[in-house]
Amino acid sequence: MYDIKALYEANSVNEAIELMQQHPDAKIIAGGSDVLIKLREGKLAGCELVSIFGIDALRGISMDEDGTLRILPLTSFSHITKDPLINEHIKVLGEAVDMVGGPQIRNIGTIGGNISNGVTSADSASTLHAWDAIVELTSAEGVRQLPIKEYYISAGKVALRPAELLTAILIKEESYAGYKGHYIKYAMRNAMDIATLGCSVNVKLSDDKKTILGARIAYGVAGPVPMRVPAAEEAVRGKPVCGETVDAFAGAAMQNINPRDSWRASRDFRLHLAHELAKRALTESIRLSGGEI
């Protein structure tokens, strides 16, 4: 039994916005795999909920005319993993969300919920950061876009205004064309776990596969929100594909993050992992791009 004061079900984006305007204290619920846990713990006891789960217009993955990948927020993790567009252009996102929880969670959990929780460990978040994703937010005032980096404000807090809804996640062609990436989730067990550290790297190589034209890296759990490490990306731009480049990348990555010390893992251990995961994720991304190392 859940301690819910009221549940309002929206059938369209407009209806959801109206319901949020009428019930400003209400929380949005989609798949429920996070909200119901908080309810059960008593943290949201007595709350009002606006359910957007029935809005089918917010499900699916498509490509805009300009080549932008459009991922609608209610798309479940399992659907993302199996989607042909994702597999063709940004396969690592499908792989990353396939590491969430277990099969049941991946069937009910949505990518929109995953990032709108604002948690640093979300398996989709570091990859979306690493691919320069843009979020599309809709309210009564209209539609606005934000780079995902600006969507995350602080732990558990995203840039949604009152009565505003995440309505799409966009990845532009320039962000994915020519890139291959790899995500490593470091967790204490192989399923049903949250990342101790997540590391998503992608790379674009020169035609001869000898030079790194661009590389991007984002971590989860290396700070209060998912984070890119521009210093590491700069360190390898235009550099030859070789072991030293990988070491420089990992070294710069580790020096520019600030993970916390907690009972879940020590800061030293997370820093050690950050270095090793950056190395492994870049090496694998290079390999996927046809480079040799």
Partner 1 sequence: MGIIGQSVTRVDAPDKVTGRAKYTDDLADKSALIAKVLHSTIAHGYVKSIDTSEAERIKGVVKIVTCFDVPDIPFPTAGHPWSTDVHHQDIADRLLLNRHVRYYGDDVAAVVARDEVSAMQAIRAIKVEYEELPFVLDPIEAMRDGAPQIHEGFDHNILAHTSYEDGNYAEAVKEPGLIVIDKWYDTPTVQHCHIENHICYAYEEAGKINVVSSTQIPHIVRRIVGQALGRDWGSVRIVKPYIGGGFGNKQDALYEPLCAYLSTVLGGRLVKLDMSREETFASNRVRHAIRYHIVSHVRADGTFVAGKLEAYSNQGAYASHGHSICAKGAGAFRQLYRYRGACKGDAYTVYTNIAAGGAMRGYGIPQMMFALESHVDDIARRLNIPPLRLRQMNLMEVGYKDNFSKNENYFDSFNQCIKKGMEYIDYDRKLEEFSHDTGDIRRGIGMAVFWYNTAVWPISLESSSCRMVLNQDGSVQLQLAETEIGQGADTAFSQMAAEELGIPLKKVHIISAQDTDVTPFGTGAYASRQTYVGGFAVQQTARIMKERILSYAHELTRMTVHNLDIEDGYIININNSRRLMSLAELATTALYSLEHSRHITAESTYQVKSNAYSFGCSFAEVEVDIPLCKVKLVNMINVHDCGRLINPALAVAQVHGGMSMAIGYGLSEQLLYDKKTGRPLNNNLLDYKLSTTMDHPHLEAQFVENYEPTSAYGTKALGEPPATSGAPAIRNAVLNATGVEIDTAPLTPHVLFERFREEGLI
Q: Which stretches of the chain bind partner 1, using CB under 8 A?
A: 1-3, 42, 45-46, 102, 186, 188-194, 196, 263-266, 268-269, 272-273, 276
Q: Which is nearer to partner 1, 139 or 285 (CB)?
A: 285
- Whole-angstrom Cα distance, residue 54 to residue 117? 19
Return the beta strands (E) in the chain as ranges.
4-9, 27-29, 47-51, 61-63, 69-71, 134-139, 142-147, 152-154, 157-158, 165-171, 180-186, 197-205, 212-220, 227-228
> Minimal distance in Å, beta carbon 238 to partner 1?
28
Q: Which is nearer to partner 1, 129 or 270 (CB)?
A: 270
3-state DSSP percent of the chain in helix, strand and coil, to 5:
35, 25, 35
Q: Which is nearer to partner 1, 57 or 192 (CB)?
A: 192
Q: Which is nearer to partner 1, 1 or 24 (CB)?
A: 1
Q: Which is nearer to partner 1, 180 or 185 (CB)?
A: 185
- Whole-angstrom Cα distance, residue 283 to residue 246? 7
- Whole-angstrom Cα distance, residue 72 to residue 129? 17
- Whole-angstrom Cα distance, residue 58 to residue 40? 27
Q: Compute the Cα dihedral for 72, 190, 120, 44 and give only its sign.
A: positive
**DSSP tag of 192:** S
> Minimal distance in Å, beta carbon 100 to partner 1?
12
> Minimal distance in Å, beta carbon 22 to partner 1?
24
> Minimal distance in Å, beta carbon 171 to partner 1?
29
> Minimal distance in Å, beta carbon 56 to partner 1?
31
CA–CA distances in Å: residue 241 to residues 23, 110, 209: 55, 37, 8
Q: Which is nearer to partner 1, 102 or 147 (CB)?
A: 102
- Whole-angstrom Cα distance, residue 129 to residue 131? 5
Residues in the chain: 293
> Minimal distance in Å, beta carbon 46 to partner 1?
8
